[in-house]
Structure 1
C-alpha cells in the first residue's frame, strides 16, 4: 500500500493533475497510466508537458495546488445536522493555508483537544479568477475536484466563538491526491474510511447546495483566484480519530486521499 492513496484512471475524457517533488524540484504534472508528465507552469495556464514520463513510485506527491485561500461549507448535507433548519445560503467559513497537509502526510492532533474527527468531503478547485459569478456560469470557473478531509476538533468547535483552531490547526486540511478535470461532479459517491471501516458514504447529489451554487455565492463577497479550494461539506455522522489511525477519503472518479494520525 502506498502512502498517499490512489488516483483513479478508469474514465475516458478525465484528466488528473498533481503537484510533486522529484530530485528536489517541485512541479505540476499530468498523470497518465500511473506515470507523471511534468508540466511547465500550473494546470490553470493551459500548460504543455515538457518532460516525462516519471514513474509514480519515484515522485513525492504534494498537495495538488497552492491556494491563496481555503473556503469550506459548514452544513451542506441534511443528515449531517438533522435538527438544524436548512440554511438560506451556504454556511461558509475560512481556513488558513497553513492547515494544508499533503496526501500521505500525518494529521497531528494538537494538545488540549480530546475530540478530533474526520470529515470526508468533495473539494472544488477554482480555475479562473472569479468575482460576482452568476450560478449559471459558475461551472466555467471550476477547474476540477479532489478529495478533502476537513479535520475538526469538536470540543473547541463547541466551546470557541470562532472556529479558527477547531478547523484551522496545522495539518487539519488534507486534500488530494489529484485534481480530476472533465469529470461530472454532481452525483459522485463519497466515502470516508477509518482503519478500513466505512464511516461515511453518500452521493454528492444530496448536497443542499451544489458546487456551482457555492462558488457563485462565495464570489459575491470575495475574489476567488486560480487554485483556491472550497470544501463542500461532509455527510452524515463523523467519527473520532486517534493516533495510529489511517483515514481514507475516496471520491468516485478521483481516487483516494490517505493520511495517518499522530
Structure 2
C-alpha cells in the first residue's frame, strides 16, 4: 500500500508519498508514472492539501443497505448521484464555512472516496476496477434546509456544492482493499458514524462502470460512495473527524461566520 499526498511547503505546492511521518516528493503526473524528486522531509515541515483536484466530483445517495432499510428506501439498480462543485474541495484542517445567505442545519456525511486514475468511458466492471487509482476520505457536507427549501425543486447542487463543502484527504491510498474498511466519523471526539464499506449496495467497480456509461471519467475525478446512518447537524466550532483505517483521518472544523 502507498499513501499519496499533496502539500504546500516553502510557498510551493507539490505531491509525493508519505511513510512513517516523512514525505518523499515526486515530479511528473501523479496518474502517469510519477518519479521521486529530491530528498525526503518531515511531514511537519509541510501543510497538507486535498490530495486530489477533481475535474468532476460525484456523490452517491442511498447506497448502503442498513440506511436504506432504516429509511424504507428501495435498493437502487443504478447509482443515484449528484454533482458537487470541484470548488467545494478543501483539504485537512481547513475550516468548513457557511456561505452568506444560507441558514439552518448543515450536516456531515463521512464517506469512502474513489479517485479515478485513467480515462474511463462505457467501461466494463473489470475495466472500471482497473481505472480506480486509490481510495480517500470524503466529508459530503450538506446544507440540509437549503436542499428542500423550494418544494418544486430539490437543490442538490446548491446544498452540496458550496465553497468548502467537500473536505477530502488526508491521502489517497493505493493497493488498499475497500471490502475490509470501516468509515467512522467523530464529532469533537465522540463517534457518531461507524459503518462497514462492505454494506454498499453498489460496489466501487459497478459504480464506476455504470457512471461511465453516461459520463466520461478522467484521471483525478472523484466519486464519493455515499453514507450510512448517523449523519447529523454540526454546531459552530464542531471538529468533524472522518477516519478510514489505512487512509488516515480527515479533520475539519465547522466554522461559519
State the TM-score bracket (shorter-chain normalisation). Answer: over 0.9
Structure 1 segments, 4+ long, off by >4 Å, are: none
**Are the aligned partners of 2:53 and 2:89 in contact in 1 as well (CA < 8 Å)?**
no
Task: Say if 2:189 is the partner of 1:193.
Answer: no
Per-residue deviation, 1:208: 0.6
Task: Say if 2:22 is the partner of 1:35.
Answer: yes
The answer for the alignment partner of 1:5 in structure 2 is none
Q: Please give the alpha-carbon distance, in whole angstroms, between the structure 2 residues aligned to 1:93 and 1:112.
A: 20
**Are the aligned partners of 1:28 and 1:41 in contact in 2 as well (CA < 8 Å)?**
no
Q: Kindly report which structure 2 residues correspond to 1:135-150, keeping only aligned pairs within 5 A, or say none.
A: 135-150=125-140
Per-residue deviation, 1:182: 0.5
**Are the aligned partners of 1:121 and 1:231 in contact in 2 as well (CA < 8 Å)?**
yes
Per-residue deviation, 1:158: 2.1
SS of 1:114's partner is: coil
Task: Say if 2:58 is the partner of 1:71.
Answer: yes
Query: For 2:80, which of 85, 91, 103 is the aligned residue?
Result: 91
Could you tell me which runs of 5 or more consecutive residues in structure 1 were left unpaired when the two chains were aligned: 1-13
Task: Say if 2:113 is the partner of 1:123.
Answer: yes
TM superposition score normalised by structure 2: 0.94
Query: For 2:97, which of 89, 108, 121 is the aligned residue?
Result: 108
SS of 1:87's partner is: coil
SS of 1:180's partner is: strand
Q: Please give the alpha-carbon distance, in whole angstroms, between the structure 2 residues aligned to 1:78 and 1:61.
A: 34
The answer for the alignment partner of 1:170 in structure 2 is 163
Could you tell me which runs of 5 or more consecutive residues in structure 2 were left unpaired when the two chains were aligned: none
**Are the aligned partners of 1:80 and 1:237 in contact in 2 as well (CA < 8 Å)?**
no
Name the one with the larger helix percent: 2
The size of the alignment, in residue pairs, is 249
Per-residue deviation, 1:42: 2.7
Per-residue deviation, 1:88: 2.0
